[in-house]
Structure 1
Amino acid sequence: MTITVGTYNVRGMKDDVAALIRVLSAMRADVVCVQEAPRFLGWRRDRMRLAEAAGLRVAAGLRLGSVAVFVAPGVRVLHTESRLLKIFLGLEIRAIAIAVVEVEGARFAVGSIHLDLDEAARLRHATEAVAMIEQVAARFDAAIVLAGDINEQDDKTTWRYIAARLSDCYPRAPKGNGMTFTARSPGKRIDAIFAAQGLQVAWCGGVEADPADLVAATDHLPVVARLVRG
């Protein structure tokens, strides 16, 4: 049983929305974890319109925290929940959006996160997010997929913490050079997809979209992984 999961920081739809829609469509994902989803006036409408324009629908996500999960029409959604993570005075409010989905009879608990620029907050939120999605996955006998904007690279503490509990998909079956930031001049891999150790990774990496659209859509590049559950 296979699932295609993507992650994409859309920068609040502040850039070229038409290009953003084309890139989302080019991801051809069953589930997309979104960061910096619209959060101001009309946020529900804006998220819905973005998802629908790309052939998706909104499954989960709070206004605060600006994370969401979009799913494709053929994906069955069994459960959704969104939770705030620990609030640190003076820092952005962070959250996790989780959707438990069923694809080809297999269940997956997919979580979207956007971690902080502050190192201590980033690690605290990562530990909370991993614990939360583990609890949800256990209730539904679902394989875990956690994806998002980690705001650090793979040699740092928070990334290593997540990768010790879930597998970093890109090194297992890389597609492209893996760099995600900035979209205009990609030199860092700060966006990632992590999956339960038991999931096989067919491939993970960049999206085959018009290079001009990738630059115009937002300041991050998307990541997509094809995962197999036996």
Structure 2
Amino acid sequence: MSDGSALVRVLSYNIRSMRDDTAALARVIRACAPDLVLVQEAPRFFRWRKKLARLARASDLVVLTGGGTAAGPAILCGLRATVERTEDVLLPLTPGMHRRGFATAVVRFGSARVGVLSCHLSLQKDERYDQGGMLLDRLAALGVRHAIAGGDLNERPHGRTFRRLADDLQDCWAVAPWGGEYTSTPADPHQRIDAILATKGIEVLSCGVPLDHPGVSGADLVRATDHLPVLAVLRVPAA
């Protein structure tokens, strides 16, 4: 664009370790034509790198970072993205709870530079709230003016962790709702627990579940995994 800004399509998707219909999953991702995919529950055990790479190839993307090294979150990207750096972060382990982490990167789309973070927050409310603070700290530590975070927050918008994040960042669906709102479960969508969030300098053009997106089959959405994806179209200013 003449002002140096970039339109960036971001998809956030919990893929349940690719235990469902991976062909349907790849078709959904490919139809959404994302520049970035913020994945949760990527494969993280036996041959996890090969499994994630296979999904990326089937979706016309490449693996940017994450997977087993981030305890599940991962980032895929298209060839428009120029990668500056990546870092996978493991969060403090609470005894008896599932290990969590962040997959993070700094990428460029032409003159637009943006930090990216994929997350899957705790099921336990106090641990989840602490992880929300760590997410905000991690975005700040990326050292970039503009940033995007997405993931399975395991909490509805009225929850205190969701509100904490939405106080500092834009809840993209609330800014420019489009498509469907609810992300869980595909067969009976009744709650929004997945979100894409952006720093306040980013313009949110649309955000929602791509229920009526060209090429996205309702049957594929049900077969692909146990969450519905969130797709956001964002305008990121030049750095």
TM-score range normalised by the length of the shorter chain: over 0.9
Determine whether 1:223 maps to 2:230: yes
Query: Among 135, 149, 152, which residue is 2:152 paired with?
Result: 149
Which consecutive residues of structure 1, in runs of 5 or more, have no partner in the other structure? none
CA deviations 1:138-166 (Å, max 9, x no partner) are 2xx34110100000100000000101111
- For 1:105-184, list aligned pairs within 5 A: 105-136=111-142, 138=143, 141-184=144-187
Distance 2:94 2:165 in 1: 21
The offset of 1:24, in angstroms, is: 1.0
The offset of 1:125, in angstroms, is: 1.0
Normalised TM-score (structure 1): 0.96
Count of equivalent residues:
227
Q: Which amino acid aligns with 1:121?
A: E
3-state SS, counterpart of residue 102 of structure 1:
strand
Distance 1:57 1:161 in 2: 32
Q: Which amino acid aligns with 1:175?
A: W
CA deviations 1:40-92 (Å, max 9, x no partner) are 11001111111111001111114152010000012111110010111100011
CA-based RMSD: 1.0
3-state SS, counterpart of residue 122 of structure 2:
coil
Normalised TM-score (structure 2): 0.93
Contact 2:184/2:192 (CA < 8 Å) preserved in 1?
Answer: yes
CA deviations 1:72-115 (Å, max 9, x no partner) are 01211111001011110001100000111111320110100000
The offset of 1:129, in angstroms, is: 1.6
- Percent identity over the alignment is 40
Which consecutive residues of structure 2, in runs of 5 or more, have no partner in the other structure? 1-5
Q: Which amino acid aligns with 1:17?
A: T
Determine whether 1:214 maps to 2:217: no
Identify the residue that residue 195 of structure 1 maps to in structure 2: 198
Contact 2:14/2:39 (CA < 8 Å) preserved in 1?
Answer: yes
3-state SS, counterpart of residue 111 of structure 1:
strand
Distance 1:96 1:26 in 2: 26
Distance 2:27 2:145 in 1: 30
